């Protein structure tokens, strides 16, 4: 039932009903008595199932009080882990405290993510958009910049322009992991990167080359291997590395769940993680507790990250300057999955 039907049912004007429903001070005592008071209006609203029209109220306010989180569902690392679920949960809590709702919009990366985003902007269903799975040259960010739609990018891009972003510190992770392995005597260190146009791959490749040059490590370009981000990808890349005439003594994986596949490949070959090949992965998740030995990884404050994403999205909505450009700490903690290389 809309407000027009409600007013007709009570025999009142739409304006009077609206002011009574919203407790406006311009409705005096006589008027309230004459129209049977606000209580009768609210009682009838409840009895007749009246709900305010959200679209109409958004138009009047000029705001939807909603943030849209666009998640690329075609990615294996999204399907196989709870990282984004925990991020979304923390964002939702923080946004709710500021009277904002969070909606998740699944966008299959196998289709047309840019077209999907264009339709989302046109529908005006949110005050701000959070995009994920950023590419090195991401057309979605170019579209958002042109549209002037408030947005936050969870991940960086090489696209020119000033925009708000928060990203995990992949470069810091890789520098510390490679330095720790080099200190143990490793010289041939393999690094996996995501397949496709992901900006993470660009960042990790550049950082790997920089660290090899600075520390005097083997700069064999074939030690940087693009692979799929899931357990099977970790298994495949480890098997391929073991089959080489001069395999690396350590592997750094860009996605945590790949460690399951890497451990499996080593054990199938009669080898032990840490003892025969050192393994480091990006983030320590609950699932990784089942690995033996515990895998070297980063302890990342996922809840804190989700809250910060929410806070910075609210700043984007308010047009606060300067926009956030923040690297979230990701420092690896080395465990027994890392050891000095065996002499061959």
pLDDT digits (tens, 9 = 90+) for 307-340: 999 999 999 999 998 999 999 999 999 999 999 9
HSE, side-chain direction, 13 A CA sphere, residue 35: 27
pTM (predicted TM-score)? 0.79
Whether residue 16 is predicted with pLDDT greater than 80 in this model: the reply is no
Task: Mean pLDDT check: name the lowest of 78-82, 155-159, 166-170, 172-176.
Answer: 78-82
Per the DSSP assignment, residues forming a β-bridge with 162 are none
Whole-number average pLDDT of the chain:
86
Contacts of 248 (CB under 8 A, 6+ apart): 186, 188, 189, 190, 223, 241, 277
Confidence class of residue 32 from pLDDT cuts 50, 70 and 90?
low
CATH 1.20.120.160, domain 3-52, yes or no: no
Confidence class of residue 344 from pLDDT cuts 50, 70 and 90?
low
Higher pLDDT residue, 126 or 44?
126
Dihedral pair phi/psi, residue 5, rounded to 5°: -65, -40
CA distance 259 to 192: 11
Contacts of 343 (CB under 8 A, 6+ apart): none
172 CB-contact burial (10 Å; exposed 0-12 / middle 13-18 / buried 19+): middle
CA distance 307 to 85: 13
Residue 264's SS3 state is helix
**How large is the angle between the packed helices 199-215 and 170-183, nearest 10 degrees?**
30
CA distance 52 to 124: 18
Query: Domain boundaries in the chain?
Result: 3-52, 62-168+302-328, 170-300
Task: Judge contact between 37 and 2, C-beta under 8 A.
Answer: no
Per-residue confidence (pLDDT) for residue 119, from 0 to 100: 92
Task: Judge contact between 157 and 135, C-beta under 8 A.
Answer: yes
Per-residue confidence (pLDDT) for residue 48, from 0 to 100: 56
Whole-angstrom CA distances from 336 to 118, 274, 278 are 48, 6, 9
- Angle of CA points 238, 244, 247, to nearest 5°: 70
The neighbour count for residue 71, using CB atoms within 10 Å, is 20
Task: Judge contact between 192 and 248, C-beta under 8 A.
Answer: no
Nearest to 266 by CA among 257, 275, 253: 275
Confidence class of residue 52 from pLDDT cuts 50, 70 and 90?
low
CATH class of residue range 62-168+302-328: alpha beta
With a pLDDT cut of 70, the percent of the chain lying above it is 83
Is the bond preceding residue 174 a cis peptide, omega within 30 degrees?
no
Per-residue confidence (pLDDT) for residue 33, from 0 to 100: 55
Per-residue confidence (pLDDT) for residue 4, from 0 to 100: 72
Higher pLDDT residue, 135 or 81?
135
Per-residue confidence (pLDDT) for residue 216, from 0 to 100: 95
Task: Mean pLDDT check: name the lowest of 147-151, 197-201, 284-288.
Answer: 284-288
Per-residue confidence (pLDDT) for residue 55, from 0 to 100: 53
Mean pLDDT, residues 205-209 taken together: 96
The CATH architecture one would assign to domain 170-300 is: 3-Layer(aba) Sandwich (3.40)
Residue 224's SS3 state is strand
In the block, which residue shows the tokens 């700043």? 315
Confidence class of residue 56 from pLDDT cuts 50, 70 and 90?
low
Per-residue confidence (pLDDT) for residue 39, from 0 to 100: 43
Whether residue 76 is predicted with pLDDT greater than 60 in this model: the reply is no
Confidence class of residue 232 from pLDDT cuts 50, 70 and 90?
very high
- Do 3-52 and 170-300 share a fold? no
């Amino acid at each position: 039932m809309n407000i027009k039907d409600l007013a007709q049912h009570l025999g009142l004007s739409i304006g009077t009903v609206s002011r009574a429903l919203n407790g406006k001070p311009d409705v005096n005592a006589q008027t309230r008595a004459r129209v049977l008071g606000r209580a009768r209006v609210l009682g009838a609203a409840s009895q007749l199932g009246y709900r305010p029209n959200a679209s109409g109220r958004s138009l009047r306010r000029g705001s939807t009080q909603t943030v849209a989180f666009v998640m690329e569902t075609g990615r294996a690392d999204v399907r196989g882990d709870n990282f984004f679920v925990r991020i979304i949960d923390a964002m939702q809590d923080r946004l709710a405290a500021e009277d904002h709702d969070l909606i998740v919009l699944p966008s299959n990366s196998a289709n047309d993510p840019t077209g999907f985003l264009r339709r989302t902007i046109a529908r005006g269903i949110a005050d701000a958009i959070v995009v994920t799975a950023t590419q090195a040259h991401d057309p979605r960010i170019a579209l958002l910049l042109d549209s002037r739609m408030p947005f936050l990018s969870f991940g960086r891009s090489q696209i020119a322009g000033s925009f708000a972003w928060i990203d995990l510190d992949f470069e810091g992770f890789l520098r510390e992991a490679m330095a720790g392995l080099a200190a143990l005597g490793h010289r041939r260190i393999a690094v996996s990167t995501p397949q496709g146009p992901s900006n993470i791959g660009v960042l990790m490749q550049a950082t790997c080359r920089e660290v090899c040059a600075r520390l005097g490590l083997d700069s064999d370009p074939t030690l940087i291997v693009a692979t799929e981000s899931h357990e099977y990808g970790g298994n495949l890349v480890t098997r391929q590395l073991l089959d080489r005439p001069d395999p690396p003594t350590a592997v750094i994986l860009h996605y945590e769940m790949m460690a399951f596949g890497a451990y499996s490949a080593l054990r199938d070959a009669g080898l032990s993680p840490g003892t025969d090949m050192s393994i480091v992965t990006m983030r320590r998740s609950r699932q990784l507790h089942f690995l033996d030995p515990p895998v070297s990884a980063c302890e990342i404050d996922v809840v804190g990250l989700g809250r910060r994403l929410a806070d910075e999205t609210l700043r984007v909505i308010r047009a606060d300057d300067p926009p956030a450009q923040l690297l979230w700490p990701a420092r690896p903690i080395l465990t027994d999955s890392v050891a000095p290389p065996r002499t061959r």
